[in-house]
Amino acid sequence: PVTRGPACHHFGYYDKSPWNLGGRFLLGLETRFMDRAPAASDVAVVGLIDTHAGHCWRPISQTHAWNWQQGAMLQWLGSDPEGTVIHNICAGDHFAGLVVEVGSGARRRLPLPVYALSADGRQAVSVNFARIAQTRPGYGYAGPADPWADDPQPAGDGVFWMDVETGRHQLIVSLAQVVATGHTASMDGRKHWFNHLQFN
């Protein structure tokens, strides 16, 4: 084991690595419970485990945008895999991304939450985590409501692309577009969503 109680420690999904490039630090989340689904008010502390210093826990951030299945999409940024991390947060009435420089503590907020990053850390894809909270419980985040909750196939929601350096973003494929492709009558009136995005 690399962590100790009484707090609970976990990381996230199997498609992301907690290790920094040099193999010294592990990323993790720290919570005070593990026996129920997280509520919007529940905070997870984001931290580093230093495997060269007695596995000590070093808090670097915190978030209200997390779940047990995938954590907070916490990961090292490909453009600086030794010293910069990215994770999702709740920013008032919406979810967003947060870039944290571990050494300086400097932070930069992104307008959208991150689902997956390109290998170089310069691009991200995003989805509606509020919608996922309703359609795939355990994979979304508690908190802000889905603005398209009553629309089964919104034209304004879908897969979003974002430039991690500038925050510039755009919808690249909508739920309405996908439903219209190969449409069958069984899809009518059913709520659609995207999940499990990755860069090729």
pLDDT on residue 155? 98
Task: Provide φ and ψ at 178, rounded to 5°.
Answer: -70, -40
User: Is the pLDDT score of 1 beyond 90?
Assistant: no
The one-letter amino acid code at 113 reads P
User: Could you tell me the pTM of the whole model?
Assistant: 0.95
Q: What is the DSSP string of 93-128?
A: SSEEEEEEETTT--EEEESS--SEE-TTSSEEEE--
User: Is the pLDDT score of 165 beyond 90?
Assistant: yes
User: Is the pLDDT score of 182 beyond 90?
Assistant: no
Q: Which residues are registered as beta bridge partners of 62?
A: 45
pLDDT on residue 60? 97
User: Is the pLDDT score of 75 beyond 90?
Assistant: yes
Tokens of 72: 């907070």
pLDDT on residue 68? 97
User: Is the pLDDT score of 156 beyond 90?
Assistant: yes
pLDDT on residue 185? 93
**Cα 181 from Cα 154, distance rounded (Å):** 14
